[in-house]
Structure 1
Amino acid sequence: MLKWFSQSGRALVACAAVFVTWSAWAQPSGVRSAADHQRHNTVLQAAAAKGSVPVIVELVPQQQIGELGARAPQSQAVQLSELRAKQNRVLSRLVTARSNAGMRTPQAVARLKQFNYFPGIALRASAQDVQALLNDPEVLRVYEEVPRKPMLRSLTEASIGMVSGAFQGRTGAGQVVAVLDSGVDKTHPYLAGKVVAEACFSTTDTNFGSSTSLCPGGASSSTAVDSGAPCSPTVYGCDHGTMVAGVVAASAHPSFGSGVAPSAQLISVQIYSRFDDSSSCGAELPCTLAWPSDEILGLEHVYGLRSTYRIAAANLSLGGGQYSTNCEAEPENALEYAVISSLRAAGIATVASSGNEFLSSQLAAPACMSNVISVGSTTDADSVSGFSNSAGMLQLLAPGEDVTTTTVAGAYASPSGTSFSAPMVSGALAVLREQHPQASVDTLLGLLKNTGLSVVDSRNSLMKPRIRVDQAMSGLDSLTRVPNGKPLANESAAAGQFSYYTVVVPTGASNLSIRTLGGTGNPTMYVRRGSRPTVSTFDCSSSNAGTSETCTIPSPTAGTYHVMLSAAAAYSGVSVLADFDLSCASSNDVVLPTAISGSAEYTTCGTIASNASGTAVPTTGVLQLNAPGGIRLRTGFRVTSGARLWARLYPEMQ
């Protein structure tokens, strides 16, 4: 159980769920481990003792199923049809087994949920039902579904690099963050107009803690208008989603500041159910909890919107369980892991709170999964919050104490918890994606890690990076290198925005010219060697009317030249071009060392080769070959996850 702490010190708790792709799920068909059999015995015993229990049924994956997002619409439709047919076959055999056991009921299967992309179903099952499911040839595992609870904890914008409500001019414009939580108050003055899509997945199950659906009309699901609205403030935890949303994207308040990505939009997915029993809620009655099956349906819904919106992240400020190592191997997390993998492959990061149980060697699920960006909490003084769960697999830290944010009924609050550290990272991803829309989740996570402030947790001596979004923005420059003689086309920006590029100039180059041309609008160019220029610090600038700007350096010093385009007026369809002459100053072969740093540049007229022990490229390495001799990469050469290797070929100059 993951606790969050409000300003009054009352303990709240949060739930989370996540989802995965079939392609990421390489489980052998029909194979069960000894641990599976032990878990199944536990489920059978629980069902026998209670009469019935809610379960999630993991089906045997279909053969040779590929990544859904990579398949044509017709192929996806066939795949979904096949999944529904498999689900229906399993349900039909279950009803037959019930009939044979004398268990006919007016409703053959209670509390049924059929997932839309991933091989599973959820339902309420008796011990006989569980046994029938385990005997089914198309069922891999059955495990009891246990509801999870919500996690909370002044938005310290300056500490993560925000200046005047922006990060180097970026505010998350054009990006969307999905908030899977207790709903978002879209009528809040500082969240108005931000919710672009809504959905609700919630459960009525009177056999378990008087669980009641919070969807409109008590339905089990809805995508109607207001389906993503918060539940009644009389229910404990119903304000949680609005607070999380405010950290992501609240507009600037004159006293409280803004969210991390104030221009981003939101998808509100309400995934909680109401509970009215003290065994589920403790002293806080009634309360909100989330069934994992509703979380899965919510994540599937986000996955289904991947082509409609530019979704940077799905935020899960919730969690459950305690895991000391990556937990995707645990059966209860299999479907979640698969959905998260699909989201990640589609460029959507899943960000989750580490949990608030004061643990120094364990994380909650889904934060414990290797494909999730897990986030712990720090104080304004950059120490790890005492309540924040930590472990070796924790990915990032972000401020999480006394975070001033929106709450229901147009108000503001200052809660604390890893619930608010996670949306800081979700907002940061939206900002970074605005700067570089094509960057992968791995790349953006790598930038946040590599540019973060190292903070040591005194409880376990683990050092983790606290995000610095401005520093990560600067790191994006290396992803927008302008090749010699080959323009980057169709660049655009809104008025007032800044865009950044780099040009790598080798030894012996001359007549460097950096230009913009074509399109419409009015960019202003600033160029500086070695670091980013500003409007007041630069080596060269050009501010002509229209889109044609030029900076010329006849005798450039070798190194990286940073280019900033400032949109004096909005521009679009503009090309950025760099040209320089290059003669071959050396014909010696270059043998790469065992590791290339992000700033390393290797230039030769001979051959570039990796050494026999292997060369690791942890960030971005640049190989510039000036002759047709080739690049030989020997056995052992490797590019680390999140890295980029640039190879530039130039004709030999006579």
Structure 2
Amino acid sequence: MKRRSPWPARRSLALASMALFLGGISHDADAVDKMTRDRHAGRVFFPAEGSTQTYDSFIVYLRDDAKAGDDGSAKALAARSRLDSLLDAASQPLGLSLRADRRISTGGHLLRVEGDALGAGAADRLLLALARDPQVASIEPNIRLHALALPNDPFLSYQWPILEATGGINVEPAWDSGADGLGVVIAVIDTGQTYHPDLDNGQPFPNNKTLPGIDMISDPANARDGNGRDNDPSDMGDWNTANQCGPDSPAHDSTWHGTHVAGIAAALTNNTEGVAGVAYNSYLQHVRVLGTCGGSTADIADGIVWASGGTVSGIPDNATPAHVLNLSLGGQSACSTTYQTAINTARANGSVLIVAAGNSNAPTQFFTPANCNGVIAVASSRRDGGRASYSNFDPTIDIAAPGGDSDVAPANGIASTVNTGTTTPLAAGYNYKDGTSMAAPQVAGVAALMIGENSSLTPDQIETLLIDTARPFPVPCTLGCGSGIVDANAAVAAATGGTITNMPMSVALYGFGHGSVTSSPAGINCGTQSGTSCSTRYATNATVTLQANAAPGFTFSSWFGPCSNSSPTCVVSMQHAAEVHALFEAPITALSNGVQTGSFGTTGETPRYFAIDVPSGASNLDISISGGSGDADLYVRHGNIPDENHWECRPFLSGNNESCTSATPAAGTWYIMVVGAPDFSGTRLTASFATGSGQWIFCSGMEDGDACPAP
């Protein structure tokens, strides 16, 4: 389920625009500017801003192309001829060599760069060159995604997500009712499988726990098996050495990530072995897409299509299509044409897709495939039911599930199946891991329990029932984590026709302003700053009125979710779960170079915000407060509004005379917060910088409100 997000598009520095030119491009050229990105949005999917990935392949979609899977018709051959001409015309002026590699299951053409991989800036320019041709419908880099587990501590012997009421998923009553996922296939689209007695009952197909899968990694080096794609999804180990997967990439041991994820979703139980999976009688099917250095868009998309029963050229069809696809992987990117097409295909084939939200403590809208339409995006909750410190957030999230937080205590991780090898596979074992990777298979297991009890459920129905039956967070899940924590027993009961008598409501505050949200009937009382959240339940079909109240000095901007207006009142009919976001803003006063503000002050630690735009090439930025009484503190930050935890300069002196300077300031907007400790008055603020010519702009002896003369 996708909702309009209150999070703004990420700001970028104003980079000098560089046109495409003859004579070649550097493999580490500067990225294109934001205006160019915005102009081509939706057709050209650029690498994420600030990306350090390199790109050796791209995916292009042509207009008037043959259908996916049609490689021999006249239309397909004509399209291939047009593509070859397009590649020559676009790449030769840039000093590059491109070749068409193959067509993938979503209909896109995979293009390979001959020679060195391109940096983000060079990739930008190649994408623009290809997009100049009107035959191109869309184009994207073949980005790599990675497993989303975090480091962990040694295995201990219990599973709090199953056993505990506070942070758990309430699965034992569902088991007692007879739900076990029998006959349901869960595809683990991940690093592949290793032998484990908790995942393999030693019976021949079709009675084995683990069904035949596929190795969809096309690059033999990344696959580490020497032969690329084949029908053996064995995890060969994803260990690597320092810098093996790109500049500054660290060395790490093999994670056995797919084995761990599989155990959470569906490990055997009542077998005198280690752990119990959520849907312990479901089948497991491994689709190996992540290798030594993660997985490519083309391979992951083909894995999604194949797992759901779709056709992938050159690969035998899946004889046992999966009902549930678990993707505990992701990376920073918009949802591209390739991912959305693969997801749409899988849903049309009847599969429900469960996706980890990501572990960057950032808005999920910036991470794929969790930001795609039609998936169930899962945040990670802690043992006490709050948001795990690393978990992504925002209205893109549908639901939360236990993902662990071993930073609090080693036993707070998620216990599951692993291999004990540090590089190549050795013996089976158990260990704790943390991450939204561990949260997603909890939800995948619950979805399998639901399908096992009612095989007629559609992907949309499963998503709605999971969200509507979620349990309100026992402690605030800051910044938005979906409707609540997945409740297995309630979801299974609803799947079999049970009545949902009450619906969860969660409210989260966003923005740089302060305020609170209250409700009638009572139950919601959130305040007073961004990140605050609260949740409760209301009777199904009840009418709930929410009231937003801005704190002094701030304004309420708008609602997101069931209401989308700017009125401080939001009326919600609880026919389904409601995830509401209230946006509060801080008024920001724009400053001019060298112009001193009038005197100002605040009481009760209420902040005042200012901003100044600094051009490229400026020098000697000076931001100073002076005068008045009380104690004012100065905070300065580039690109985003500062707060008491996020700043680039904070003198933190007694009194009202403080200054921040930078000899070579970054171009763009610099934000300033002045806050009392607790009160101040009569203070003035000045921000000044030297122009590109090196001249200073001085404004001495100016009256309040006068303009500063140009140098």
Correspondent of 1:245 among 248, 255, 262: 262
CA distance in 1, matches of 2:80, 2:379: 42
Q: Which residue does the alignment assign to 2:330?
A: 319
Question: 1:468 is aligned with what amino acid?
Answer: D
The equivalent of 1:199 in structure 2 is 214
User: Residues 355 and 363 of structure 1 are in contact (CA less than 8 Å); yes or no, is this contact kept in structure 2?
Assistant: no
The yes-or-no answer on 1:469 pairing with 2:469 is: no
Report matched runs for 1:17-36 at 5 Å: 35-36=39-40
SS in 1 for 2:263: helix
Cα distance in 2 for partners of 1:183, 1:457 equals 36
Identify the residue that residue 419 of structure 1 maps to in structure 2: 437
The alignment's TM-score, normalised by the length of structure 2, stands at 0.51
* Residue identity in the other structure for 1:420: M
Map 1:512-591 onto structure 2 (within 5 A): none
Deviation at 1:163, TM superposition (A): 2.5
Question: What amino acid does structure 2 have at the position aligned with 1:338?
Answer: T
The one of 304, 309, 314 equivalent to 1:304 is 309
2: CA distance, partners of 1:152 / 1:312: 24
On the 8 A contact 1:61/1:119 being kept in 2, the answer is no
The alignment partner of 2:401 has SS state of strand
Deviation at 1:465, TM superposition (A): 1.6
Summarize the Cα distance change of 1:400–1:295 in structure 2 as closer, same or farther, 3 Å threshold: same
CA distance in 2, matches of 1:449, 1:396: 6
1:109 to 89, 99, 105: 99
1:37 & 1:228 partners in 2: Cα distance?
Answer: 38
- CA shift in 2, pair 1:262/1:466, >3 Å: same
Instruction: Give the distance between the partners of 2:484 and 2:87, measured in 1 at CA.
Output: 53
| CA distance in structure 1 between the aligned counterparts of 2:92 and 2:66, rounded to whole angstroms | 35
- Map 1:40-79 → 2, pairs under 5 A: 53-62=55-64
Once the two structures are TM-superposed, the CA of residue 169 in structure 1 deviates from its matched residue by 0.9
Taking the aligned partners of 2:364 and 2:45, their CA distance within structure 1 comes to 29
Map of 2:181 onto structure 1: 172
Closer, same or farther in 2 for the Cα pair 1:438/1:79, shift >3 Å?
farther
2:147 to 147, 150, 158: 150
Is the 1:118–1:339 contact (alpha carbons within 8 Å) kept by the matching residues of 2?
no
For the residue of structure 2 that corresponds to 1:393, the secondary structure is coil
Name the counterpart of 2:668: none
Structure 1 match to 2:414: 403
Separation in 2 of the partners of 1:263 and 1:442? 24
The separation in 2 between residues aligned to 1:37 and 1:376, in whole angstroms, is 27
Q: How many residues align?
A: 417
What per-residue deviation string (whole Å, max 9, x for no partner) do you get for residues 459-500 of structure 1? 336663211111111112328xxxxxxxxxxxxxxxxxxxxx
Letter in 2 for 1:140: A
Classify the secondary structure of the residue corresponding to 2:286. strand
Match of 2:409 in 1: none
Residue in 1 that maps onto 2:113: 124
Secondary structure in structure 1 of the residue aligned to 2:433: coil
TM-superposed deviation, 1:130:
5.4
What's 2:464 paired with?
A: 446
Amino acid corresponding to residue 493 of structure 2 in structure 1: S
Instruction: Spell out, residue by residue over 1:418-448, the C-alpha distance to the aligned partner (whole angstroms, 9 max, x if none).
Output: 1110011111111111111111111111111
Identify if the C-alpha distance between structure 1 residues 38 and 300 changes in structure 2 by more than 3 Å, giving closer, same or farther.
closer
Distance 1:103 1:361 in 2: 37
SS at match of 1:148: strand
Q: Answer whether contact 1:57 1:139 (CA < 8 A) is retained.
A: no
1:304 Cα deviation after fit: 3.4
What amino acid is aligned across from residue 179 of structure 2 in structure 1? Answer: R
Answering whether residue 279 of structure 2 is matched by residue 261 of structure 1, we say yes
Please give the root-mean-square deviation of Cα atoms over the aligned residues, in Å: 4.5
CA distance in structure 2 between the aligned counterparts of 1:471 and 1:434, rounded to whole angstroms: 15
For 1:320, the aligned partner's letter is: G
- After superposition, what is the alpha-carbon deviation per residue over 1:244-277, rounded to whole angstroms, capped at 9, x for unaligned? 1111111125474311111111221111232xxx
Corresponding residue SS for 1:157: helix
Contact 1:191 1:246 in 2 (8 A): no
1:155 CA drift (Å) = 5.4
Matched AA of 2:303: G
Match of 1:543?
A: none
> For the residues of structure 1 that align with 2:139 and 2:443, how far apart are their CA atoms?
34
Among residues 478, 481, 484, which one is paired with 1:459 in the alignment?
478
Aligned to 1:3: none
* 1:412 positional shift: 0.6
Aligned with 2:226: secondary structure? Answer: helix
Aligned to 1:488: none
For 2:466 and 2:340, locate their aligned partners in 1 and report how far apart those are by CA, in whole Å. 22
Q: Do the aligned partners of residues 144 and 256 (structure 1) sit closer, same or farther apart at CA in structure 2, a change above 3 Å counting?
A: same
Q: Distance in 2 between matches of 1:194 and 1:356?
A: 30
SS in 1 for 2:258: helix
User: How is 1:554-633 mapped onto 2 (pairs within 5 angstroms)?
Assistant: none
User: Is the 2:364–2:396 contact (alpha carbons within 8 Å) kept by the matching residues of 1?
Assistant: no
The alignment partner of 2:342 has SS state of helix
CA separation in 2, counterparts of 1:452 and 1:418? 17
SS at match of 2:59: strand
Give the stretch that moved more between structures: 449-458 or 124-133.
Answer: 124-133
**Given that residues 114 and 122 in structure 1 are in contact (C-alpha distance below 8 angstroms), is that contact kept between their aligned partners in structure 2?**
no
TM-score of the pair, normalised by structure 1: 0.55
2-structure distance, mates of 1:41, 1:453 = 37
Structure with more relative contact order (C-alpha pairs < 8 Å, separation 6 or more): 1
How far apart are residue 77 of structure 1 and its match?
6.3
Q: Sort the Cα spacing of 1:250 and 1:37 in 2 relative to 1 into closer, same or farther, 3 A.
A: closer
In 1, Cα distance between the equivalents of 2:211 and 2:62?
36
Counterpart CA distance in 1 for 2:173 and 2:467 is 24
Shift of 1:407: 0.5
CA–CA separation in structure 2 for the residues paired with 1:386 and 1:100: 48
Structure 2, unpaired ranges of 5+: 1-35, 151-158, 202-207, 241-251, 311-316, 405-412, 420-426, 502-538, 543-561, 563-572, 578-711
1:217 aligns with 2:221: no
Q: 5 Å matches for 1:388-399?
A: 388-399=391-402
1:345 partnered with 2:360: no
Identity across matched positions, percent: 20
Tell me the distance in 2 between the aligned counterparts of 1:320 and 1:143. 14
**DSSP-derived class of the 2:323 partner:** strand
1:197, CA displacement in angstroms? 2.3
Measured in 2, the distance between the counterparts of 1:467 and 1:301 equals 28
Cα deviation per residue 1:323-369 (whole Å; 9 max; x = unaligned)?
xxxx54xxxx1220121122112221111111112236756211122
Specify which structure has the higher proportion of helix.
Answer: 1
Q: 1:264 to 1:99 in 2, by over 3 A?
A: closer
Q: Distance in 1 between matches of 2:274 and 2:45?
A: 53
Shift of 1:157: 1.6
Inter-CA distance 42–457: structure 2 relative to 1 (3 Å threshold): same
Letter in 1 for 2:260: M
Q: Could you give the per-residue CA deviations for residues 602-640 of structure 1, whole angstroms, max 9, x where no partner exists?
A: xxxxxxxxxxxxxxxx9xxxxxxxxxxxxxxxxxxx999
The amino acid that maps onto 1:448 is L
Structure 1 residue 93 corresponds to structure 2 residue 102: no
Report the 3-state secondary structure (helix = DSSP H, G, I; strand = E; otherwise coil) of the residue aligned with 1:109: strand
Shift of 1:213: 2.5
Structure 1: any 5+ residue segments left out of the alignment? 1-31, 66-75, 205-210, 275-287, 480-501, 503-529, 531-595, 600-617, 619-637, 643-654
Tell me the residue number matched to 2:660: none
Partners of 1:304 and 1:428 lie apart in 2 by 21
Q: What corresponds to 2:290 in structure 1?
A: 272
